[in-house]
């Protein structure tokens, strides 16, 4: 004690341990700051819930179900970043329509428009046989978007 006050003694850190502790503290702080600045939602993505790859669909009429993450599904209208609606390509690869080109609305045997609720499902009819569906995102004017990346599923319709 000095002048009635108690002096605290802290354990001394070796220089190397101190530098490591300082680096760890700074690293955690920097990681937290970067996480706060990053978008919470992540990259836009979509996937088929039904049908799944390689399954046998037991009826010619069935409901296609998709899941979309980190992208806002809306009705057609003025395009806005981060939002749009789905189109299903029937036995047509996504590459047949270049990014930015309008997806035809008058070819219902090839392209199904999902621009109205429910935005992620639609009941369709396909003849027996092997089919490939590709989910493609479009903006409010039906122009094909590159992101989220189109996804495909191949399955057998066998009633």
List pLDDT tens digits, range 14-37: 555 544 544 444 443 433 333 333
pLDDT in tens, 43-65: 999 999 999 999 999 999 999 99
Residue 133 lies in a domain: yes
Q: Give pLDDT, residue 135.
A: 98
Domain count, the chain: 1
* Region for residue 42 given its phi and psi (left: phi exceeds 0; alpha: psi -120 to 50; beta: otherwise): left
Unique residue bearing structure tokens 């903006």: 139
Residues 121 and 66: their CA atoms lie apart, in Å, by 6
Q: Which domain holds residue 61?
A: 45-157
User: How far is the C-alpha of 120 from the C-alpha of 73, rounded, in Å?
Assistant: 9
Could you read off the pLDDT of 1-17 as tens digits, one per residue?
A: 555 555 545 455 555 55
The CA distance from 88 to 62, in Å, is: 14
pLDDT of residue 16: 59
- pLDDT tens digit sequence for 101-157: 999 999 999 999 999 999 999 999 999 999 999 999 999 999 999 999 999 999 999
The answer to whether residue 149 sits within a structural domain is yes
What is the reported pLDDT for 63? 98
CB 141 within 8 A of CB 98: no
pLDDT of residue 76: 97
Distance CA 117, CA 26 (A): 48
Question: Domain holding 90: CATH number?
Answer: 2.60.40.10
């Amino acid at each position: 004690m000095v002048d009635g006050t108690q002096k605290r003694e802290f354990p001394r850190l070796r220089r190397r341990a101190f530098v490591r502790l300082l680096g760890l503290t700074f690293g955690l702080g920097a990681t937290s700051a970067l996480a706060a600045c990053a978008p919470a939602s992540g990259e836009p993505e979509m996937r088929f819930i039904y049908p799944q790859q390689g399954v046998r669909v037991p009826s010619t009429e069935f409901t296609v179900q998709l899941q979309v993450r980190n992208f806002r599904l809306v009705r057609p209208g003025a395009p806005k970043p981060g939002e749009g609606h789905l189109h299903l390509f029937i036995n047509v690869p996504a590459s047949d329509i270049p990014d930015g080109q309008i997806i035809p609305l008058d070819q219902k045997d090839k392209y199904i428009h999902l621009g109205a609720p429910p935005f992620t499902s639609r009941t369709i009819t396909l003849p027996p046989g092997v089919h490939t569906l590709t989910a493609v995102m479009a903006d409010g004017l039906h122009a094909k978007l590159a992101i989220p990346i189109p996804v495909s599923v191949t399955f057998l319709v066998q009633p």
